[in-house]
Structure 1
Amino acid sequence: MLAMVNAAAASRDGDQESSETDDTRHRIEENDYIRTVVVTCAEDLYFLRMPVCLICGSIGQGVEGTMVTCVTCAQSYHTYCVGQHDKLSLTVVKRGWRCLDCTVCEGCGDGRDESNLILCDECDISYHIYCLDPPIESIPQGPWRSSAFLNDYFQLSLTVVKRGWRCLDCTVCEGCGDGRDESNLILCDECDISYHIYCLDPPIESIPQGPWRCKW
């Protein structure tokens, strides 16, 4: 009988340990980035000087090499790897971006009490639900967007209202009014205003590899 009790207790402890391990693994998968260890030669100056994505461990080329850097820890990430590539907004440009390890409430500056911390679905800005103005009682079930993002989005919408919008067939450079030389024509990722790279003030030498936003 004693052996059966001990076996049952051991089984129960094992199940509890397994459950705790599963819970821990679940929290890691949900809240942490998967990191890649990179082994390189200490004399490889090119690699040492380049920003390396902490998640995939690579540099990347062209659009796939677009990086975003955490304003707190200065670690670099591919926008693709942190789900920001299609969501880079004026809010991120103006206020900066924080990785999950450095996420804090923008209201009180504290990153604790994670169960009450909500993340904007567009710009990754975080707030405790009780630090919002006005505060809310519980975590929203659907998408949530911060007031900072909505304000910036509204301003960008005003650009389209004030300056108008052109379809691709009618796109012209806002600087010179000419729609030719399309290979040197860049389109704003937010309001679709276009400029030749040499009509910008100041001009630039080549088409940007990542997202580009006009001054409007």
Structure 2
Amino acid sequence: MSEATKKRVAVLISGRGSNMASLIEAAKEPGYPAEIVVVGSNRPDAAGLEAAKEAGLQTFAIDHKEFGKDRAAFDSALSAELKKHDVELVVLAGFMRLLTPGFTEEWEGRLINIHPALLPSFPGLNTHARALETGVKLHGATAHFVTSEMDVGPIIMQGAVPVLDDDSEQTLAARVLEVEHQIYPEALALVAAERTEINGMRVTVVGSDDLDDDLIAPTV
């Protein structure tokens, strides 16, 4: 696949960017339909920014603290920066900011996130602790389109892991993170290849299988 036909992607992070790293690795494959053109953060000291630079990627930081409580102003500055890089798709990878409806509507259908739970169960924070507390037998991760309401966007792909009797929050989180690293590159590939259609809250996969099977795999 030529660089000209690949979707231009921005990855937004707030910390070390472990999911970012899995996306960078996937994008090295010649047949991968997305090119990561920039990595951005709301925290200038985010460790993932240095990792992105080491991978040869452009980076930027817009410190949300400089905007006080004006979320709309921060989001406007963020959107303007993304447009400077001719970004077509925005990928949230541990980006710890609630985005305003103005931003999510502007990037509707082009903005995706990974959440460490099987949505619609356990939206929000502390998902692993809550999974253990409620006694569910399956837990996992969800790649989904982002809407103005937190963690309720149309689901692209999910991956599940069993909850073991001796699990701690840390051991469960580690297994879920492995699933995140597997399904997020696959979900981005589907979106970048324009193989997803959103019908209400359902996402259907369409088109021919002209991508490598290693890049587009069934749900875990």
Higher relative contact order (CA 8 A, sep 6+): 2
Q: Same fold (TM over 0.5)?
A: no
Greater strand fraction, Structure 1 or Structure 2: 2
Q: TM-score range by the shorter chain?
A: under 0.3
Structure with higher Rg: it is 1
* TM-score where L is the length of structure 2: 0.23
* TM-score where L is the length of structure 1: 0.23
